[in-house]
Amino acid sequence: MKIKIINGPNLNLLGRRDNHIYGKETLRDIETWLHSKVNSKDSVKWFQSNHEGQIIDEIHACIDSYDGIIINPGAFTHYSYAIRDAIESTKIPTVEVHLSDIHNREDFRKISVIKDVCIEQIFGHGKTGYLNAAKILFAYESKKRNI
């Protein structure tokens, strides 16, 4: 199975930004950790951008190349209908991930315009959320193949 992990704005600052919320690990640390946890036969590629259009282009580039997407859209979660439409249009199973518990933070963070086009939303589990999302996609793909 091939999975693309797409990370949005400010996630390149993990390890520096609000450690009490996001932890001390960098995005690269989380990537390395996740690669040690998934089966080596599965392909997991990472992407990060602070630019909405680049994220949309990356989602489009997954068509016919990836079996699933894990997306942490960062602040775009709350208002990017363009990213929502890109996910919906590709028809690639997608899991939305957030390191922090977005439902126990500021009111605006509780809103996701993306979750309704994803097969699941995971929040508040730190880096383990990425692993849980991968497991969800593996199970989804396995179920699809057995139908």
Which residues form the catalytic set? 22, 98
Rounded-to-integer distance, Cα 8 and Cα 27, Å: 11
User: Cα dihedral sign for 64, 65, 68, 74?
Assistant: negative
Rounded-to-integer distance, Cα 119 and Cα 97, Å: 11
CB atoms within 10 A of CB 10: 15
CB atoms within 10 A of CB 41: 6
